[in-house]
Structure 1
Amino acid sequence: MGTPVRGWRIQPVVATLDFCEVLYVWSKYELVGKQARFWVLITQGSTLTAACDAVGVNRRTGRRWRQATGGRIPLPEAETSGRYLSLEERLRIADLHLGGTGVRAIAALVGRSAGTISRKLARGGSKTGPQARTKYAPNAAQKQAGLRGRRPKASKFDHSELVFVVQKELCLKWSPDQISDHLAAVFPDRQEMRVSPEVICQALYGGGRGGLRVDLHQHLRTGRAIRRPRRPAAKNSGKIPDMTMISERPTEVEGRAAPVHEFPRPVGLATRRVTPM
């Protein structure tokens, strides 16, 4: 018998997949930064179109961000203390880990202990592929760390009786103020049955995350699913960024101590001379 001929076998390369994963992680991190700048511009008085153009996203994306929060401007995330890993550190750990760097070398480059890096890689990784190789997911790890560090307060609508009464009165076209006053009058001695109008509004505009049904905003008199400010639109859209109020003028300007502080003569108007009689 002759020597068996061995055929060529195509071996898949996982390096391209890892590089794509790194690009996805960084693009998602960049999108989070754009979303944060978007809300800063909205807080400063910019319109939806102007904020989207400034951060470089489509208007449809900005509208989706606004609808996800029910029209409410989200609170900025608290800065991570030096005790815990930040998202930038997790991204660097992921890059070094995908590049084949060892745990002790990563710890020396990041400035953390080797035990911390080993635990984070074991906790924030996922075993995929035919060889079950551990891959570190920094965005998912940062999100899980934030969820573990939260101390959420119990919602008022965890009480089923309160949810039933509020939903019933909303279906009767009652306003949040009327519901709050009615609950205070009917249940004066039961704190679990007391709720403010603001809590009802936050539950309605939160997309069902507050304990109430998602479709209950249709029973409001406005019928809106997104919260809108009461101030006029013209005042909001015409706001000048970094504007200085007249009341904030310096004292020397108020007293007009210098000639430059006098009111200038309107340009284009001829000087009118008065002829003495």
Structure 2
Amino acid sequence: MAQGKRDRLSTEQRIDMWRRWKSGESLHDIGRAFGKGHGSIRFLLTQRGGIVPAARRRSLRTLTLAEREDISRGIASGSSIREIAHGLQRPVSTVSREVARHGGRPLYRASEADRQAWESALRPKVCLLAIDEKLRTIVASKLIQDWSPEQVSKWLKVHYPSNESMHVSHETIYRSLFIQARGVLKKELVQHLRSKRLIRRSRHSRAAGQSRGQIVDAISIRERPAEVEDRAIPGHWEGDLLAGSKNSHIATLVERHSRFAMLIKVPSKDTATVVAALSKHVRKLPATLRRSLTWDRGHEMAKHKCFTVDTNVKVYFCDPQSPWQRGTNENTNGLLRQYFPKKTDLSVYSQADLNKVALRLNQRPRKTLGFETPASKLQASVASTGEPTSFWGKFGDAYRH
């Protein structure tokens, strides 16, 4: 997206963007709603550190658009300023200044006057930390020591109990860190926060699935058997959803020992659909290739218990925001971008199309395998266990070596 065009959202769209962000929607979901990349949405949110701006309200003392239209009609009919003011029950000086401020009688237009008045009414409140250098210095010195904003706020109240000018809320500190336009606290101080996050996340993001940490009875990756780590035994898989445009996805499964990949068409990313599609494919595998599955914290695997019952494959989940813990799958998804570039509508591909791509990938020599192919590596491993090689037929021709 060209620079300068990334933030062209109307006022209504911006309000809707913040509403979606506050409700916990992800950057990708918000971007799709407005036909923009998630990077553009992040740029807009980062300008305010992810903190929803306060809703603006008109003062009851200001002229309304309806009153300005009455002024415009009064001018057009030749009424005097005093007559117009009397009809509005407003002071003459209020109407006189209003007309003079917006071009005088010949140029006065109600809608334009109302727009200009709304824009000029902005009165940014000066931040407490910006006007008190001593307080700002103390806050910064504590943050450098890795204190949290809440600890700093409470400490100030304890050490300056009778001096309210030295009190500042932790929310004010956070805003001064996240909204750099305030120019109060240096951006580098964010690195001393525990999360090191540059943008405020919605408190509803967990429930919406963005933080992806609320999967019932999820088994941690830390409980995986040691045999999974050394890749010596086949049958341990890593999985994820590869995202495309128009909310389309492909489920990807990669076997850790051989790097053998399977691509599975999923009509949607809801957990029932994804689990059913995965179960159908995994059940085709011989028992020696059904040992475990490691997944990200995506809510599409919320019904992991159903998957385990259907396939006898236990599911382990990565730590939140730790996709590197299933690096084999992440690397394979990167390779798949050669065939499915970002912003590609993945819904147009049939299962047969996906099988052809998987075949290409599985027949490519891999450096990490000593330039063996994933297909030959897996077939040799399964043969060594005594499993008949006829099992390849269960995958369909696409998975033959």
- The CA deviation at 1:73 is 1.8
The percent of aligned pairs where both chains have the same amino acid is 29
8 Å contact 1:202–1:210 — kept in the other structure? no
Deviations 1:146-166 (A, max 9, x none): 43xx8x587255222111111
User: What is the CA–CA distance in structure 2 between the aligned matches of 1:197 and 1:208, rounded to whole Å?
Assistant: 18
User: Which residue does 2:368 correspond to in 1?
Assistant: none
Select which of 135, 142, 149 maps to 2:118.
Answer: 142
User: What is the CA–CA distance in structure 2 between the aligned matches of 1:120 and 1:176, rounded to whole Å?
Assistant: 45
Counterparts in 2 of 1:34-73, with a 5 A limit? Answer: 34-55=13-34, 59-73=38-52
User: What is the CA–CA distance in structure 1 between the aligned matches of 2:78 and 2:45, rounded to whole Å?
Assistant: 41
| Residue identity opposite 1:64 in structure 2 | F
User: Which residue does 1:187 correspond to in 2?
Assistant: 160
Q: Which runs of 5+ in 1 are unaligned?
A: 1-27, 127-132, 239-277
Deviations 1:169-207 (A, max 9, x none): 222222223323432343333222222322221221121
User: What is the CA–CA distance in structure 1 between the aligned matches of 2:148 and 2:209, rounded to whole Å?
Assistant: 26
User: Which residue does 1:123 correspond to in 2?
Assistant: 101
8 Å contact 1:67–1:226 — kept in the other structure? yes
User: SS of 2:174's equivalent?
Assistant: helix
User: Which residue does 1:175 correspond to in 2?
Assistant: 148
User: What is the CA–CA distance in structure 2 between the aligned matches of 1:211 and 1:102, rounded to whole Å?
Assistant: 52
User: What is the CA–CA distance in structure 1 between the aligned matches of 2:144 and 2:135, rounded to whole Å?
Assistant: 14
- The CA deviation at 1:231 is 6.0
Deviations 1:63-117 (A, max 9, x none): 2321122111222222564x53457987x89xx8xxxx79869x99xx968x766
Counterparts in 2 of 1:8-87, with a 5 A limit? Answer: 31-55=10-34, 59-79=38-58, 81=60, 84-86=62-64
8 Å contact 1:39–1:73 — kept in the other structure? yes
Q: Are 1:158 and 2:136 matched, yes or no?
A: no
| Residue identity opposite 1:221 in structure 2 | R
User: What is the CA–CA distance in structure 1 between the aligned matches of 2:15 and 2:155, rounded to whole Å?
Assistant: 39
Cα distance change of structure 1 residues 180 and 43 upon mapping to structure 2, 3 Å threshold: closer
Q: Which runs of 5+ in 2 are unaligned?
A: 1-7, 213-401
- The CA deviation at 1:35 is 0.9
| Residue identity opposite 2:117 in structure 1 | A
User: What is the CA–CA distance in structure 2 between the aligned matches of 1:46 and 1:104, rounded to whole Å?
Assistant: 53
User: SS of 1:120's equivalent?
Assistant: helix
Higher relative contact order (CA 8 A, sep 6+): 1
Query: Aligned pairs, how many?
Result: 194
Cα distance change of structure 1 residues 88 and 143 upon mapping to structure 2, 3 Å threshold: farther
Select which of 162, 168, 177 maps to 1:204.
Answer: 177
User: Which residue does 2:330 correspond to in 1?
Assistant: none
Deviations 1:242-268 (A, max 9, x none): xxxxxxxxxxxxxxxxxxxxxxxxxxx
- The CA deviation at 1:57 is 5.3
Cα distance change of structure 1 residues 85 and 41 upon mapping to structure 2, 3 Å threshold: farther
| Residue identity opposite 2:121 in structure 1 | A
8 Å contact 1:157–1:211 — kept in the other structure? yes
- The CA deviation at 1:167 is 1.0
Superposed CA RMSD: 4.5
User: What is the CA–CA distance in structure 1 between the aligned matches of 2:77 and 2:38, rounded to whole Å?
Assistant: 43
8 Å contact 2:24–2:204 — kept in the other structure? no
| Residue identity opposite 1:49 in structure 2 | H
- The CA deviation at 1:52 is 3.7
8 Å contact 1:80–1:86 — kept in the other structure? no
8 Å contact 1:204–1:212 — kept in the other structure? yes
User: What is the CA–CA distance in structure 1 between the aligned matches of 2:18 and 2:66, rounded to whole Å?
Assistant: 21
